[in-house]
Amino acid sequence: MSLENNDPPPLHNQLCYAIYTAGIAIQRAYKPLLDGLGLTYPQYLVLNVLWSKDEQTVGAIARALALESSTLTPLLKRLEASGLLRRTRDLSNERHVVIALTGEGRALQHKAGCLSDALLAASAETPQRLAALNRDVRHLRNAIYSQIGGWDAPA
């Protein structure tokens, strides 16, 4: 959709806005469940990265979430203060900090499974439709990352 005067289209016609507000809607659907787990959405994302592969560097987690390490550090400190993970210096390279789950952090994985059910219920979509939408959005994201340079597509 091209406008002759080069004005941006109305927000409701912009894909970026639809994806942005869909993300907000999903976070709002998750919020009561995350509150019950004592987590914020960004904390949930960090834990999810560690549930997939424990003991990662701050840089690896930041790359997986498409964040800057400096953005992640305060979040990691709060998760450590909550007893969900621990931060230690990498013995082979002291510039790197390794993040590892505690037993309590690992145990939350099984309690967080209800988030998928919440999204299914809130969206009134089928698991197959949500899986297809997820594939399409990831494909779009990866295509954009491949063109903008300097960034790798997150996990």
Is 47 in the same domain as 34?
Answer: no
13 contacts: CB under 8 Å, gap ≥ 6: 1
- Give residue 17's domain range: 11-39+112-146
pLDDT at 153: 66
The pTM assigned to this predicted structure is 0.86
Rounded to an integer, what distance in angstroms lies between the CA atom of residue 24 and that of residue 30?
A: 10
pLDDT at 123: 94
pLDDT at 1: 53
Is 122 in the same domain as 94?
Answer: no
Which positions of the chain have pLDDT values less than 70? 1-4, 150, 153, 155
Is 48 in the same domain as 98?
Answer: yes
pLDDT at 10: 93
pLDDT at 2: 53
pLDDT at 91: 78
Contact 80, 72 (CB under 8 A): no
Is 46 in the same domain as 71?
Answer: yes
Name the residue among 81, 88, 89 with its Cα closest to residue 105: 81
Domain count, the chain: 2
Is 96 in the same domain as 58?
Answer: yes
What are the residues facing 68 on neighbouring strands? none
